[in-house]
Structure 1
Amino acid sequence: MNDIDKILIIEDIPEVSVWLHAQINTLFPHRQIDHAESLAAANKAISQYTYELVLVDLGLPDGHGSTFISAYKAIAPSAFCVVTTIFDDADHLIRALRAGADGYLLKDDSESEFIEQLSGIIGGRPPLSASIARYLLQQYRPINDEPDIVLTQRETDVLTLAAKGLSVKHAADLLGISYYTAAGYLKEVYRKLQVNSRAEATVKAVNLGLINPK
């Protein structure tokens, strides 16, 4: 880990960027840590410095984080590009890994889990958050009977807004709750419905009569 000198955090939500900075500073004290809130800002940063570690959000205002990963790995193949996201579905995971991501971590992991997983990625251990690994394993377990699915009011509210195309942040703002709380509700909806994407959740919830996004 002594080879990590410069670190770039690509994250468009200031509060999350501050949280990531704190975690990184715990693991890599006294390093240069820069921030970029968009792909454009990230590209400007890498035109000035070469970063040994980059934390990349996937849903950025001007594009998908995987686009940055594939481009940066082409010019700095030894750099660690680690996704930090709320998306726990296979589509986002596979796209990121195909782009060259060295790791895939969830923002709603605990601080201790996040630091341990990131340290492991730098040390060469498997590149998945523990919660992502558990989630993927769960998808391959046989399900004999699908129980009745009940969503709480807040879970219904978040899913309904997500089904209309709103981002988690926008949904959270409309509901007057924090980004992390809204992301937690959506993650719980995915678990209850046994799906791994917003589209699947919407279709299944509509078919079950759980939401009416119109």
Structure 2
Amino acid sequence: MAVKVLIVEDNPVARSFLCRVVRESFSDALEITEAGDLEGARRAVAKNASLGHDGGFKLVLVDLELPDGNGMEFLTELAGMPAVKIVTTLYSDDDHLFPALQCGADGYLLKEDRFEVLVEELQRIVRGQPPLSPAIARRLLSHFRPGSTGDSGPMGLNSGFGPLTFNAPPANSRSVALDPPPEWERLTPRENEVLTYLSKGFTIKEIANLMGIKWFTVNDHIKSIYKKLNVSSRAEAAVLASKQGLV
């Protein structure tokens, strides 16, 4: 089955460019849906919702400035969707970056980057790393270095946005609970297997190869594991796995 991708971008040239980037980034068979505005994007999501969990979009690229609204609205609406959600924009300032992450973006890419750079950053998903344009990664690092005051925007060090899907938690993240939560027993055998590999340091791509499944499916399992165990990082999940004797 082809992996479904949704690209939300009002500029036809930019939309075509992003389609090329996506096709170049992944070896999986892809089915790309294009939308030029929020209304079209919502229709596409509603159409695919009827196909069930495995039939929906696995990757969503969202522009922030759209003719009929803001892409952040759409990110918020996609909160319950098991998809990798990536902002593709021209804005690299804090006033766009941090709110987008707060709204649920799993990555943030700048459309002005070279084709090869964007392909490489999208491929980071398969390696279990958050897709971030180099300039965005530097900006985030500057905000979390001790003593840094940031260079723009009111968010500063205590912006409070949650960690990215594949990223380690911020330094001020809450500590791991001393005892495994009750939800532990709700993990499926498949999720326990993913957690075991995750705790041993395997990347998402390596786990997918070991289990004979797609990396998008591994990502779905990881999101479910994090939700059930009430953790937000690989490190926290690994501690709980260790307590349960999985590693």
Normalising to structure 1: TM-score of the pair? 0.60
Residues 50-70 of structure 1, C-alpha deviation per residue, up to 9 Å, x if partnerless?
211000000001111111111
| CA separation of 1:130 and 1:92: change in aligned 2, threshold 3 A | same
Say which of 73, 87, 91 aligns to 1:87.
91
Is 1:11 the counterpart of 2:9 in the alignment? Answer: yes
**Secondary structure of the structure 2 residue equivalent to 1:73:** coil
Structure showing the higher helix proportion among its residues: 1
Distance in 1, Cα, partners of 2:139 & 2:98? 14
Distance in 2, Cα, partners of 1:101 & 1:122? 17
Distance in 2, Cα, partners of 1:134 & 1:4? 34
Q: Report the Cα offset of residue 19 of structure 1.
A: 0.2
Q: Matches of residues 54-203 of structure 1 in structure 2 within 5 Å?
A: 54-74=60-80, 76=81, 78-137=82-141
**Secondary structure of the structure 1 residue equivalent to 2:124:** helix
The letter for the 2-side match of 1:60 is L
Distance in 2, Cα, partners of 1:91 & 1:102? 17
Residues 123-160 of structure 1, C-alpha deviation per residue, up to 9 Å, x if partnerless?
321342112122455678x9xxxxxxxxxxxxxxxxxx
Checking the alignment, whether the CA contact within 8 Å between 2:8 and 2:63 is kept in structure 1 is yes
Normalising to structure 2: TM-score of the pair? 0.52
| CA separation of 1:95 and 1:195: change in aligned 2, threshold 3 A | closer
Partner residue in 2 for 1:210: none
The letter for the 2-side match of 1:119 is Q
Partner residue in 2 for 1:154: none
**Secondary structure of the structure 2 residue equivalent to 1:33:** strand
Aligned structure 1 segments of 4 or more residues deviating by more than 3 angstroms? 135-140, 194-197
Distance in 1, Cα, partners of 2:78 & 2:141? 31
The letter for the 2-side match of 1:51 is F
Which stretches in structure 2 are left out of the alignment for 5+ residues? 49-55, 155-247
RMSD, aligned CA: 2.5
Identity across aligned pairs (percent)?
40
Which stretches in structure 1 are left out of the alignment for 5+ residues? 143-193, 198-214
Distance in 2, Cα, partners of 1:101 & 1:37? 19
Is 1:34 the counterpart of 2:33 in the alignment? Answer: yes
Partner residue in 2 for 1:24: 22
The letter for the 2-side match of 1:52 is K
The letter for the 2-side match of 1:27 is S
